[in-house]
Structure 1
Amino acid sequence: MDESVPAPSTLIKDGWIIECSDYHVGCSQTFRIDELLYHEKSEFQDIVVIKNELFGTMLFLDGAIQLSERDECAYHESIVHLPLLSHPNPKSVLVVGGGDGGVLREVAKHSTVEEIHLCEIDEKVIEVSKKYLPMTAVGFSDPRVKVHIQDGNVFLEDNKGKFDVIITDSSDSSGLASVLFEKPYHQKMKEALKPGGIICSQADEVSWTEQQGRFSPPCITKLLEVCRTLFPVTATATSNVPTFPCGLCTFVMASTNKDTVFERPLRKLTEREAEDMNLQYYDSELHAGAFVHPRFARKMFGAQS
């Protein structure tokens, strides 16, 4: 492969991978490729895995950073433990997307969970992750995990009323996963929940970029509007992920239980429990802080519930 020639959605030039698209208006991120481990186009998207001196192994889908070995704990621990520790007794969990296995790894740390389903449309992401990203793909080894290679929308339609928590670990809203940011998908998630169920979706962007009006349509506020029409309780949380644009990731959460208070975990972890779970980022104190936003963001998002 000629590394100087950009792939359909991925720009690799002079030993660097450049995350640059019309979606990120006016800015880009660049990471040095110390070793190109994998680069192929699957049936659905362009997949790149590199080694970088600072961030370790890194996964890109259609040119957009998905995770790095250095900071993936911040993303995966937040998207899992924020919702699961807000639920009184999560037994059945569905992950839509998440082909790298990191969400599975964190869900499996909860002893109350009896079954974990992963619905991933691109089997190649799973295959590549198992080979190059063992620190996240270890999640597939848990015996409670059942993998379904299919469209998440279709899977939800066939599994109504089955899950306590549904986590959408999707790629960016501008590409393959765009349907996972729309109201019909969230309606299907609601119907697939058991009474008192919770959803958590990565919201793609951060309030700094949305404040400047650089994304169309604004993803966080759009997801909040969708969830507020379907659920009695919604909330937004953030996690510090240095390799993501602006260094933050936002999550939109919602519950069918009107008494849910996301900002305070129902079950607080002791220091010993956090150590036993090998948590690098999340703890109960950080849980509360994840829902604290700057003044401009609070005005933009409106009421949390």
Structure 2
Amino acid sequence: MEVWFTEDQTNDLRIGCRVREVLFSDVSPFQKVAVLDTVEFGRMLTLDNVIQTNLKDEFVYHEMITHVGLNTHPNPKKVLVIGGGDGGAVREIVKHQGIERVVHVEIDQMVIDVAKKFFPELSCGFADPRVEIVVDDGIKHVKDNKGVYDMIIVDSTDPVGPAVGLFSEEFYRSVFEALTGDGLFVAQTESPFFNSELIKQITATVNGIFPVTRLYWAVVPTYPGGYWTFTMGSKMYDPKTVVLDEAKIAALNTKWYSSEIHRTAFMLQPFVKELLPR
């Protein structure tokens, strides 16, 4: 008997993956958590039947949500990750030798436990002594920690359920206050094909709070449309004009991110430019 996992990416678009085995399935206080062994993408994490990550394409997302900002800020020492319980973002952050502390705030303990068991390739960074894992609400954490972090990464799920508040103006203002004087943040901000109004709203909101606002993109095959965006809000540094340390980037041992990708990620197609504040 064939077993397939299907995700309704929109009301009119569905993606399907053939499944060898369901490795884990349970319901946490926040969401349904499942780990699937798929034929095409290997082990895959889903939350509420939505693909979060998988072993085949995860490196694109995790490298782009971390290294663009970490190579824009000249000396990031303290980094906060909100969400991203699979650990992929933390894995990339700890590659940077100058990092002194990484605080990873994930609301769902089950996601962390599942990542440690089924995704050691992603969660390996949790073992780094610079990493502190906090099981708590990320919105509350940023409100309670003002002026602490050089960089904040919002590695959230889609803007439904427990993640809705991570896309609000109030939250972005709290992020601004939680950053140091020259800090910056990066958030995943969905697909311009299917979430154009959300991108308009986020970039306009961030533009009203931060001196520098930039939208950039990457290709993540299992996310809706394959074209995925990230939004950066920076108090001082512009990722489009920063002088990149080529030797430092080469030492990161990345599969997608590079100095060339850093620069070209901000080259937006005309239909995407139309979503930005005038």
Pick the TM interval, shorter chain: over 0.9
Amino acid at match of 1:266: V
Aligned equivalents of 1:143 and 1:280: distance in 2?
25
C-alpha deviations, 1:256-282, integer Å up to 9, x for none? 11xx22124433333xx5554221110
Instruction: Answer yes or no: is the 8 Å Cα contact 1:181–1:223 preserved in 2.
Output: yes
Greater per-residue strand proportion = 2
Does residue 1:111 correspond to 2:97, yes or no? yes
Residues 265 and 284 in structure 1, CA contact (< 8 A), matched pair in contact too = no
Gaps of 5+ in 1: 1-12, 212-217
Pairwise mapping of residues 11-22 of structure 1 onto structure 2 (< 5 A)?
15-20=3-8
The match for 2:11 is: 25
Distance of 2:250 and 2:25 partners within structure 1: 36
The answer to whether the Cα contact below 8 Å between 2:203 and 2:277 also exists between their aligned partners in 1 is no
Query: Relative to 1, partners in 2 of residues 1:210 and 1:43: Cα closer, same or farther, differing over 3 Å?
Result: closer
The letter of the residue matching 2:256 is: Y
Residue in structure 1 matched with residue 224 of structure 2 by the alignment: 245
- 1:288 equivalent to 2:263? Answer yes
Question: 2:243 and 2:34 mapped to 1: Cα distance?
Answer: 39
1:226 positional shift = 1.3
Pick aligned residue for 2:133 from 135, 139, 147: 147
Q: Tell me if the contact between 1:264 and 1:287 (Cα under 8 Å) persists in the aligned partners.
A: no
| 1:225 aligns with one of 181, 196, 204 | 204
Q: Following TM superposition, by how much is the alpha carbon of 1:48 offset from its aligned partner in structure 2, in angstroms?
A: 1.0
Gaps of 5+ in 2: none
- Aligned letter for 2:76? P
Say if 2:192 and 2:228, in contact at 8 Å, map to a contact too.
Answer: no
TM-score by length of structure 1 reads 0.88
TM-score normalised by L of structure 2: 0.96
| Aligned counterpart, 1:256 | 235
Task: Kindly indicate whether the alpha-carbon contact (under 8 Å) linking 2:250 and 2:258 is maintained by their aligned counterparts in 1.
Answer: no
1:297 and 1:30 mapped to 2: Cα distance?
27
Find the residue that maps to 1:76 and give its secondary structure: helix
Q: Retained in 2: the 8 A contact 1:274–1:283?
A: yes
Kept in 2: contact 1:82–1:265 (CA 8 A) = no
Distance 2:63 2:18 in 1: 26
Q: Within 2, Cα distance between the matches of 1:182 and 1:140? A: 28
Structure 2: how far apart are the matches of 1:236 and 1:268? 21
Cα deviation digits, residues 172-218 of structure 1 (max 9, x gap): 11222010000111111111000010000001x2112245xxxxxx2
| Corresponding position of 1:90 | 76
Per the alignment, residue 208 of structure 1 pairs with 193
- Equivalent residue of 1:124, what SS? helix
The aligned residue for residue 267 of structure 1 is 244
Identity of aligned residues (%): 37
Root mean square deviation of aligned Cα: 1.5
Residues 37-186 of structure 1: pairs in structure 2 closer than 5 A:
37-186=23-172
Map Cα deviations across residues 229-267 of structure 1 (whole Å, 9 max, x no partner): 11111000111111111112210101111xx22124433
SS class of match (2:121): helix
- Report how far residue 14 of structure 1 moved: 5.8
> Quick one: distance in 2 between partners of 1:293 and 1:88?
24
The total of aligned residue pairs comes to: 278
SS of residue in 2 equivalent to 1:161: coil
